[in-house]
Amino acid sequence: MGELVAVYDLGGGTFDTTILRARPDGMEIVGTPEGIERLGGMDFDQALFADVDDALDDALGGALGGALGGALGGALGALSPADPAEAAVLAAVRRDCVRAKQTLSTQPETTLRVPLPAGTREIVVTRPTFEQLIRPTLNLTTQALQRTLTSAGLGPDDLAAVLLAGGSSRIPRSTGSPRVLSSSRGVTGLSCRVAGAE
């Protein structure tokens, strides 16, 4: 019997997990793989965007959210995607949220500069805040991985490693999530990085 490896594939828009057993002639899928559509890095971007919106509303005294807030309910929610200048601001903030997410993978905090019509505002986002924002989504991935293990009749200690794949698995909190299931075994990254270079 070959070693068992859990694959934890957290991409930009989907999550997939499976258990593989190494065989002399290739890999064998053990148990039932599981996937969650529309769950991934885009959810993390949206959570950060909504938090920035709330922080801007707080910084501006709540006036914009109450008087003008749109779907988001804050300063960004008050901007109209139909207005070219305001749509450009929304697009810039969304890009900056993606960059902030990436920066927080290696830095403890980052600052977003938001060019609102009333003037540029700065919002500091810390890694612990970001991790708190994405925790509910990550909990769904951990539960899916646990179901995959259960379907194979396995427990965390049966695994030789958890193989992290997909860009969103680089987020420090997501690299910690599989460790909850596999505390006595290794977690290996599979991406642009050298495997095991966490």
Q: Parse the chain into domains and list their residue ranges.
A: 4-40+136-190, 42-131
What pLDDT, on a 0 to 100 scale, did the predictor assign at position 174?
54
What's residue 175's pLDDT?
56
**Contact at 8 Å (CB) between 60 and 120?**
no
Mean pLDDT taken over the chain: 82
42-131: CATH number: 3.90.640.10
Quick check: pTM over 0.75? yes
Percent of the chain topping pLDDT 90: 55
Is the distance from CB of 79 to CB of 70 less than 8 angstroms?
yes
pLDDT of residue 62: 54
Q: How far apart are the first and last CA of the chain?
A: 28
Q: How far apart are CA 144 and CA 24, in angstroms?
A: 28
**pLDDT classification of 178: cutoffs 50, 70, 90:** low
* DSSP 3-state of 118: coil
| Helical H segments across the chain, by residue range | 41-59, 63-68, 84-103, 127-151, 172-181
| CATH superfamily label, 4-40+136-190 | ATPase, nucleotide binding domain (3.30.420.40)
The count of other CB atoms within 10 Å of the CB of residue 136 is 10
Q: How far apart are alpha carbons 109 and 92 in whole angstroms?
A: 19
Question: Which range, of 28-42, 50-64, 169-183, averages the lowest pLDDT?
Answer: 169-183
